[in-house]
């Protein structure tokens, strides 16, 4: 009988501990930051990004910043209109010439917006 109570107490302790851990822990969140988008755009313009890396970042919605989500949606639209993912395996760019030009404009717009945001944070 003592062995049964010992096993029951240990199981109760383990299960109760797991329930408490699960109740007080949060699920992990992935937050896309402007620097990540800028790095991705730079890699895409330098023909160093693969379709999978592009899709992981661009297809994940950004809920904490509406401006960044707009940039992400515009990049997603660029991929739909000018994307050539089947040619990446051959060492060719992810986007055609027009798509790369539009992506460069989008990248410069995001970079200037980020600089403006940083300048506003640093002002007293």
DSSP letters spanning 110-123: HHHHHHHHHHHHH-
Highest mean pLDDT among 27-36, 61-70, 81-90: 61-70
Q: Using an 8 Å Cβ cutoff, are 94 and 51 in contact?
A: yes
List own/partner pairs for 108-117 with CB under 8 A and 24 or more apart.
Answer: 109/71, 110/34, 110/37, 110/38, 110/41, 110/71, 111/38, 113/34, 113/67, 114/34, 114/35, 114/38
Given this model, what pLDDT does residue 109 score? 95
Given this model, what pLDDT does residue 64 score? 87
| DSSP for residue 102 | H
For 89-96, what is the mean pLDDT?
82
Record the pTM: 0.74
Highest mean pLDDT among 28-42, 43-57, 63-77, 81-95: 63-77
């Amino acid at each position: 009988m003592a062995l049964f109570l010992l096993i029951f107490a240990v199981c109760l302790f383990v299960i109760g501990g797991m329930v408490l851990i699960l109740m007080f822990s949060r699920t992990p969140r992935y937050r896309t930051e402007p620097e990540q988008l800028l790095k991705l755009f730079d890699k895409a313009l330098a023909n160093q990004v693969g379709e999978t890396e592009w899709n992981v970042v661009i297809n994940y919605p950004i809920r904490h910043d509406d401006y960044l989500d707009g940039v992400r949606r515009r990049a997603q639209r660029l991929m739909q209109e000018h994307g050539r993912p089947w040619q990446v395996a051959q060492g060719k760019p992810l986007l055609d010439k027009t798509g790369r030009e539009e992506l460069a404009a989008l990248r410069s717009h995001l970079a200037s917006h980020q600089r403006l945001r940083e300048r506003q944070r640093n002002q007293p």
